[in-house]
Structure 1
């Protein structure tokens, strides 16, 4: 474990996690992607280093670091070649526990957080539903009160890790939707993924094949009262509390993907000779790569600025949204430009660009679209009328 006494925490984390992540090279991730195989040995390496508990308080087995350090770690994982497969593998240990850390009972924290920090327990996060889209207030998954707990019925979609997770932070309606308070009446449950009551179907998808994405069909799943996170009916507000960190980290993962591609593209441009000169000598090749470096650097500065505001307990919603937007755009542009730099070779899996390109494209749509970022900024920052 790194020594956090003498050097800047951020630089210690950057150096240590870069060194660890790069032990798993592009060929490792290509193999996992081809086989649709969960990267357990990669996770174990980060668990052994103590990194899975980066944002879990020390009294519950974690390191107790801030969002700045966690964001840097996720950026290094993505830029090592791990991309979204490596990012998601660690992301779901570090960030889904946040509602438990902030709002869970002391009993819940003591029971579950050490297992999450050590890697003994893997979680999934269940919000999205097929009929609700980005309007979470219209989810239909319902929890009904019974003696000693709740019985949940409903459906979730695009749920990461459900094939391997032990439990899921599950958002369900505990009161009917009200037009005057549409986001009230939803509760977070830390539910066991009991195969007798939860049917999990994997979604065949474009990228990030090493990490499963699923549909969930929930039929009379019982959750004890002790596994309710925080207060009943206030679950959505707890999720909102965690959206800014997620946006910042997604930005850093997009930036990392772009840097992984840029590293490959720059090396190729130096060594690929056409018409007796390296193609990187041509401005049509060099300038787009240089532009991508500039945009990736700028995006990271916005993301780290937002992370510092969060760590300092200041409002950071505008900056977090801007960071997600810039990280997704800069990451995709870098991968796309390197795709063009390699020409036909970009289609060959051995060069890894097609894998990075497939993964980074997701970030323009998830966890929320670039259009929704522009909607948010238009309304909340510029004061324009709501357009949706």
Structure 2
């Protein structure tokens, strides 16, 4: 567990920056479907997005625990960490499996903000979360890898310089295990878009920039390969465990935002000559949501500690994400119900945050897949798929 004073210092630092980007800022962006460039630039300049980059590369050298606090506090302040969290977890693959030359070239530029690594290309239209069935291929031809295929729901491509890409380098019928034969590449998006990569934005219910990608003989240099060819699926899993833990922290931040707003409103709003917070029908859903958030928070810290110690955090990361996403969604419902009709008005920001936190019941991994993971990997039940 982090030192309480260090935790408070991180919270206060992020909170101070977020105070410069109040609810009205996010509300206006949501209405315009715009990206928070000013906020992302400020977070980068303050060094928060370089928290997990080692000091020798210009970062702060902090762990997943500290990173989770940063994202939690952004959401607790009413912002949307979905605009910055990619930089946190996408970097893991490069940091853990990149060559010394790759790390020396890219990490200092990521730490300074010269480059952004906000995007990861894994999901495909016909495979979804069945990643081992992905169809995007990378074929070595001379001094190039040639990429062909399609990806979907790929976030922040239009606001990133680099993208982590998972593609199959060995056909499925030539591998012993279905998880073998996939490789990870670092794609320079400025060189790729318009030269074999096309991007189609997807309009959606949340102000979350996401896209469909089409690869048509995109050529990548051989040194764009990260780590060993064929080991990409194994590499990506470590980053996904970090992603799920960070998403859990964001959900905890959302949940606390909902409960704090609802509790304050329930004390102020008077109906039938009494504050509505005096009614147990209002009290109990908020109390229950708070209890579940506190439990999710404990699992978040367990996942962070395991990850930062280099242990297998798969089970804890999945359970933290499940608990936090569920708790934040229940807090959102309780908050909206507390506000009643006013909760639907844009000016209160409830409906915006309500839509944002609903995403995490589905992404980055659905609740059903987490239940399958726990049933099979933790409880030893037969595989269901």
Per the shorter chain, which TM-score range?
A: over 0.9
After superposition, the CA RMSD in angstroms is 1.4
Q: Which residue of 1 aligns with 2:315?
A: 318
1:190 has 2:186 as partner: yes
Alignment check: 8 A CA contact 1:199 1:218 kept: yes
Q: Which residue of 2 aligns with 1:37?
A: 34
Alignment check: 8 A CA contact 2:171 2:181 kept: yes
2:135 match: secondary structure: coil
Spell out the pairing of 1:74-113 with structure 2 (5 A cutoff).
74-82=71-79, 86-113=80-107
Spell out the pairing of 1:195-344 with structure 2 (5 A cutoff).
195-196=193-194, 197-207=196-206, 209=207, 211-344=208-341
Partners of 1:370 and 1:302 in 2: CA distance: 16
Q: How far off is 1:167 after superposition? A: 1.9
Q: How far off is 1:331 after superposition? A: 0.4
Range 323-332 or range 142-151, more displaced: 142-151
Q: How far off is 1:14 after superposition? A: 2.3
TM-score, scaled relative to structure 2:
0.95
- Deviations, residues 230-274 of structure 1 (Å, cap 9, x unaligned): 111111110012122111111111111111111221121111111
TM-score, scaled relative to structure 1:
0.94
Q: How far off is 1:142 after superposition? A: 0.7
1:49 has 2:46 as partner: yes
Partners of 1:48 and 1:164 in 2: CA distance: 16
Partners of 1:349 and 1:262 in 2: CA distance: 18
Partners of 2:263 and 2:97 in 1: CA distance: 46
Q: How far off is 1:7 after superposition? A: 7.3
Q: How far off is 1:21 after superposition? A: 2.1
Spell out the pairing of 1:134-173 with structure 2 (5 A cutoff).
134-173=129-168
Partners of 2:215 and 2:374 in 1: CA distance: 36
Structure 1: 5+ residue stretches without partners? 1-5
Q: Which residue of 2 aligns with 1:3?
A: none
Structure 2: 5+ residue stretches without partners? none
Q: Which residue of 1 aligns with 2:361?
A: 364
- Deviations, residues 188-229 of structure 1 (Å, cap 9, x unaligned): 11012222221111111111x1x3110001111111111111
- Deviations, residues 262-299 of structure 1 (Å, cap 9, x unaligned): 12211211111111111111110011111111111111
Partners of 1:168 and 1:248 in 2: CA distance: 21
Partners of 1:255 and 1:246 in 2: CA distance: 14
- Deviations, residues 150-200 of structure 1 (Å, cap 9, x unaligned): 111110000000122222111111000147310111111101222222111
Q: How far off is 1:11 after superposition? A: 3.1
Q: How far off is 1:149 after superposition? A: 2.0
Alignment check: 8 A CA contact 1:129 1:139 kept: yes
Count of residue correspondences: 378
1:350 has 2:347 as partner: yes
Runs of 4+ in 1 over 6 A off after TM superposition: none
Q: Which residue of 2 aligns with 1:72?
A: 69
1:15 has 2:12 as partner: yes
Determine which of 173, 176, 195 is the counterpart of 1:180. 176
1:163 match: secondary structure: helix
1:120 has 2:85 as partner: no
Partners of 1:9 and 1:94 in 2: CA distance: 19
Partners of 1:260 and 1:277 in 2: CA distance: 24
Alignment check: 8 A CA contact 2:89 2:240 kept: no
